[in-house]
Structure 1
Amino acid sequence: MDTTLTFEYVWMPLAFFVIFFIFSIFRILREYERGVIFFLGRFQKVKGPGLIIVIPLIQQMVRVDLRTIVMDVPTQDVISRDNVSVKVNAVVYFKVVDPEKSIIQVEDFLEATSQLSQTTLRSVLGQHELDDMLAERDQLNADIQSILDKQTDAWGIKVSNVEIKHVDLDESMIRAIAQQAEAERTRRAKVIHALGENEASEQLLSAATTLAKQPQALQLRYLQTLTEIAGDKSNTVIFPVPMDFMQGLKHLLDNNAAK
């Protein structure tokens, strides 16, 4: 009876502890996970994926996800180089490429990358004018991505892409941009009209030169114009005719009458 009680109260818990210890040393890491192993507090190796062995109390493991992380950068107040206040937010795509550095070199790589993204976004956009923010987003995205990738390389992180999502302006600035666009369209219309007048004057000069060489051609042109306006009987048209033309016309009629 004493032996049975001794087995139940001593050996049974010990057996459960041994079984739990055996099962606890096995860890399963997914394909996109890695385990950073520390042996008595010192870095030992990176394990995974699959089934790995971690000795409790002696070894500790920190899981690291290697999938691409999509981080939303909160809206930042930015003052452009031409002193325009705008609100800008962005999204950053990055992933861990070196699990050892991401755990040892930085306390929290997610928070560190987020804070660095916010400061870099303000710094880069503050060096450009508002027109550049609106028209050259691809170049700005590339500049921000390059700076972030260089800074986070020491943390074992690869920044693959940065996209500026929104550039919010005040209503007064939106109206000012609309007025600027309208003024630009008006300027282009005036330039096009002036170019048309210039080309028309050149053609008129060429026509006048041709008519001056042949006075008969000028008379025929007058007659053609008279024919065109003769069909309009609703208005009285006063058509100036030079005296030379009248004399030539009189001479022509006299010749016809003599015949």
Structure 2
Amino acid sequence: MLQELLAAAAATGSAGLLYVASAARIVKQYERGVVFRLGRLHGDVRRPGFNLVVPGVDRLRKVNMQIVTMPVPAQEGITRDNVTVRVDAVVYFKVVDPAAAIVNVEDYRFAVSQMAQTSLRSIIGKSELDDLLSNREKLNQGLELMIDSPAVEWGVTIDRVEIKDVSLPDTMKRSMARQAEADRERRARLINADAEYQASKKLAQAAHQMADTPSALQLRLLQTVMAVAAEKNSTLVLPIPVELLRFLEKGGQPPAERSAEAVEDADEKVPRAVEQ
């Protein structure tokens, strides 16, 4: 009798262990469990840890609650200013309602992916090329709003959307490069013209100053001669005033000859040059 009781207890224990093993479910920290009993949603969402379900009756679906990073394939479209571009993006989203993510949509990942592609094409058609290249923050916000509106019913929230790259045709790239080059050349010419204008004003002031003091002009001439004479392979022709040569010639003659020549050469001027 005792052996029969022990055998029955062992059988019952084995059956209990087998039941617990088949009914036990482990939900990880970043997951939530949704239980379907005979095909119908049953109870609340199961929390992380050890959970029990009825074997053969209940079915536990686990939903990942982590943020999902989903790349959006490059979409080709025509902007509002008639430029063909290819734009790709990335979507960050997560599940906030596990039951709605399982019940309301067949595959929430695929649904978010298709909605992101459709919204990206719509954004391309509504935007201009300059906005796609320089005003991406505003476009990201608009794209996020377009994807998030239907995703709320799927138990999904969009964390953020980022436009990664905008690909342009080669002809458009060359046109933009020529435009940038022309703009830089225009600015360079304006800078040179402004520099010439400022230099001309300074030169005019210097000319007025030299007109008041002729010796300053002579000093400036000597400075120019020194600058040119620094080159060893150059020939310098220096003009010398005739009055200076006459003074030197008169210095080497007797007083009588000086007075006679002074009378003869009073109205004559002979230009000379010294070659160095």
Coarse TM-score class (shorter-chain normalised): 0.7 to 0.9
Question: Which residue in the other structure is 2:32 paired with?
Answer: 34
Local SS of the residue matching 1:35: strand
Question: Which residue in the other structure is 1:103 paired with?
Answer: 102
Question: What's the TM-score, normalizing by structure 1?
Answer: 0.74
Judge which range, 165-174 or 79-88, deviates more. 165-174
Local SS of the residue matching 2:127: coil
Larger Rg: 2
Local SS of the residue matching 1:187: helix
CA contact (8 A) 2:143 2:161 kept: yes
Structure 1 residue ranges without an equivalent (≥5)? 1-11
Q: 4+ residue runs of structure 1 moved beyond 6 angstroms?
A: 15-19, 236-239
For 1:167-211, what per-residue CA distance to the aligned partner results, in whole angstroms no more than 9, with x for missing partners? 222222222222223222322222222222122122212222322
Question: Which residue in the other structure is 2:243 paired with?
Answer: 250
Question: Which residue in the other structure is 1:54 paired with?
Answer: 53
CA contact (8 A) 2:34 2:41 kept: no
CA contact (8 A) 1:38 1:45 kept: no
Judge which range, 197-206 or 215-224, deviates more. 215-224
CA contact (8 A) 1:72 1:92 kept: yes
Judge which range, 204-213 or 132-141, deviates more. 132-141
Structure 2 residue ranges without an equivalent (≥5)? 1-10, 252-276
Name the CA distance, whole Å, in 1 between partners of 2:177 and 2:25: 62
Question: Which residue in the other structure is 1:84 paired with?
Answer: 83
Residue 37 of structure 1 aligns to which amino acid in structure 2? V
Name the CA distance, whole Å, in 1 between partners of 2:159 and 2:45: 23
Residue 110 of structure 2 aligns to which amino acid in structure 1? E
Q: Tell me: CA distance 1:214–1:48, structure 2 relative to 1, closer, same or farther (3 Å).
A: same
Local SS of the residue matching 2:126: coil
Name the CA distance, whole Å, in 1 between partners of 2:34 and 2:60: 5
Local SS of the residue matching 1:164: strand
Q: Tell me: CA distance 1:206–1:105, structure 2 relative to 1, closer, same or farther (3 Å).
A: farther
Local SS of the residue matching 1:126: helix
Residue 243 of structure 2 aligns to which amino acid in structure 1? K
CA contact (8 A) 1:72 1:90 kept: yes
Name the CA distance, whole Å, in 1 between partners of 2:70 and 2:208: 73
Question: Which residue in the other structure is 2:223 paired with?
Answer: 224
- TM-superposed deviation, 1:22: 4.9
- TM-superposed deviation, 1:236: 6.4
CA contact (8 A) 2:100 2:153 kept: yes
Q: Tell me: CA distance 1:250–1:26, structure 2 relative to 1, closer, same or farther (3 Å).
A: same
Local SS of the residue matching 1:83: coil
Q: Tell me: CA distance 1:233–1:144, structure 2 relative to 1, closer, same or farther (3 Å).
A: same
CA contact (8 A) 1:125 1:140 kept: no
Q: Kindly, what percent of the aligned residue pairs are identical?
A: 42
Question: Which residue in the other structure is 2:273 paired with?
Answer: none
Residue 123 of structure 2 aligns to which amino acid in structure 1? V
Q: What root-mean-square deviation, in Å, do the aligned CA atoms of Structure 1 and Structure 2 show?
A: 3.6
Judge which range, 75-84 or 16-25, deviates more. 16-25
- TM-superposed deviation, 1:58: 4.8
Name the CA distance, whole Å, in 1 between partners of 2:20 and 2:144: 47
CA contact (8 A) 1:38 1:60 kept: yes
